[in-house]
Amino acid sequence: MTAARDDGVSAVMKRVGQRYVQHVNRTSRRTGGLFEGRFRSSLIETNTYLLACQRYIELNPVRASMVSVPGDYRWSSHRANALGRQDSVVTPHPLYQGLA
């Protein structure tokens, strides 16, 4: 995710987290938090590290034995990134596209 503002990603994650907790609490008739810690992010400064992070994320469902190949995971960006399939929420990174 690339932020348009310095606090963009953090602000989005805060709102998403708050809404999700409210939804779970409302539907489960409970109160309180769901997550142990706060959202954290770190800057990816090199192209090598960017590709390593992308590979790590897209292979997580395979490592967790949820699917046998990355593209089979419903929420994966692998189909858009590696296979060039259209996805309304994914814009493939030019560096990744340059690997082809």
Domain that holds residue 67: 43-100
Question: Closest Cα partner for 69 from 52, 53, 82?
Answer: 82
Residues 34 and 49 in one domain: no
Residues 100 and 71 in one domain: yes
Question: Look-up: residue for tokens 């409970």?
Answer: 30
- Per-residue pLDDT in tens (0 to 9) along the chain, 100 residues: 555 566 778 888 889 999 999 999 999 999 998 888 888 888 889 999 999 999 999 999 999 999 999 999 999 999 988 888 888 888 888 888 787 6
- pTM of the predicted model, to two decimals? 0.65
pLDDT at 61: 96
pLDDT at 3: 54
Spatial distance between the Cα atoms of 32 and 13, rounded to a whole number of angstroms: 18
Structural domains of the chain, count: 2
Q: Max CA-CA distance within the chain?
A: 50
Residues 35 and 64 in one domain: no
